[in-house]
Structure 1
Amino acid sequence: MKLRRKRKFAAEVATSSLNDIMFFLLLFFLIISTVANPNVIKLLLPKASSSQQLSKKQVTLSVDANKQYFIDKQPVSSENLEEELKTIMTGIDEPTIVVRFDKTLSVQDLVDVLQTGAKLNIKMVMATSK
């Protein structure tokens, strides 16, 4: 008596190329994530309904929630803020500073920074998130 064996078809998935695809996706997202957020100082910016774009040399003054001042990512003490702004803005026509101010700070802190800019005849623009 002859017994027949049933041959079942087993479906297989070729996964040899998935390693290459995952590597390229990981590399793509790592590169994009570093380009997408150039500022390393994390702030919660206030919201605005409209925004303006500046086409001049951009100097950024950031103030975080701990009242630490940064001019273009360089820490500056609050006592030396006026002197540092004066040295950076020498020789620039129509000096403009983008102020990135944490929304948890009081309005008086913002007014103090804006008064410093007004004293030096510097135009200050408030950065907001959409």
Structure 2
Amino acid sequence: MLGKKKRPPAEIPSSSMSDIAFLLLVFFLLVSNVDTDKGLGVVLPPPGDSEIKLNPKNITMVLVNSSGDVLFNDEVIQVDQIAIRARQLEAGNPNMVFSVQTDRKTKYQDYIDVVDQLIAANVKKLALIGTQ
């Protein structure tokens, strides 16, 4: 009887495993997207103490109360009507400034919805008033 030669057990070379793992890690980091929070794109005026005098006829007040109701020139309207009304007013008066003011307890989403409607109406002049 001829003796069978014993084969050594098969081995997987593990010396390059760490290199492959590192390359895979770098690949997935480069390929994956990291979501970043996006805020409102607002251009602030330069710092200074100068006040601009406006004609009261050129100011449209948009007030948002704590329950989310919108007053557009002292008239309660729905949020989806803001863009339509803003386009009409700006078509009649290109110098119109839309002043958005909120209550201290207004939900941030309600505020964003109002500003989004004004941006959708391509409003040229938008003033954001802080709560008082």
TM-score with structure 1 length normalisation?
0.52
Offset at residue 83 of structure 1 (A): 1.4
Over aligned residues, Cα RMSD in angstroms?
2.4
Correspondent of 1:125 among 118, 124, 127: 127
Q: 2: distance between equivalents of 1:108 and 1:51?
A: 31
By relative contact order (CA 8 Å, sep 6+), the higher-ranking structure is: 1
Write out the 4+ residue segments of structure 1 that deviate beyond 6 Å after TM superposition.
Answer: none
Aligned counterpart, 2:54: 55
- Summarize the alignment of residues 12-91 of structure 1 with structure 2, pairs less than 5 Å apart: 53-56=52-55, 57-91=58-92
String of CA shifts for 1:52-98, please: whole Å, max 9, x gaps.
54514111001111111111111112232221222222122243201
Aligned counterpart, 1:93: 94
Q: 1: distance between equivalents of 2:51 and 2:128?
A: 10
TM-score with structure 2 length normalisation?
0.51
Unaligned runs of 5+ in 2: 1-48
Task: Evaluate the alpha carbon distance shift between residue 114 and residue 54 of structure 1 in structure 2; reply closer, same or farther with a 3 A threshold.
Answer: farther
Q: 1: distance between equivalents of 2:130 and 2:77?
A: 22
Q: 1: distance between equivalents of 2:71 and 2:97?
A: 16
Aligned-residue sequence identity (percent) comes to 14
The 3-state SS of whatever aligns with 1:79 is: helix
Offset at residue 51 of structure 1 (A): 9.1
1:107 aligns with 2:101: no
Q: 2: distance between equivalents of 1:110 and 1:54?
A: 26
Q: 1: distance between equivalents of 2:102 and 2:127?
A: 11
Q: Please tell me whether Structure 1 or Structure 2 has the larger radius of gyration of its CA atoms.
A: 2
Q: 1: distance between equivalents of 2:68 and 2:131?
A: 20
Task: Evaluate the alpha carbon distance shift between residue 129 and residue 101 of structure 1 in structure 2; reply closer, same or farther with a 3 A threshold.
Answer: closer
String of CA shifts for 1:9-53, please: whole Å, max 9, x gaps.
xxxxxxxxxxxxxxxxxxxxxxxxxxxxxxxxxxxxxxxxx8954
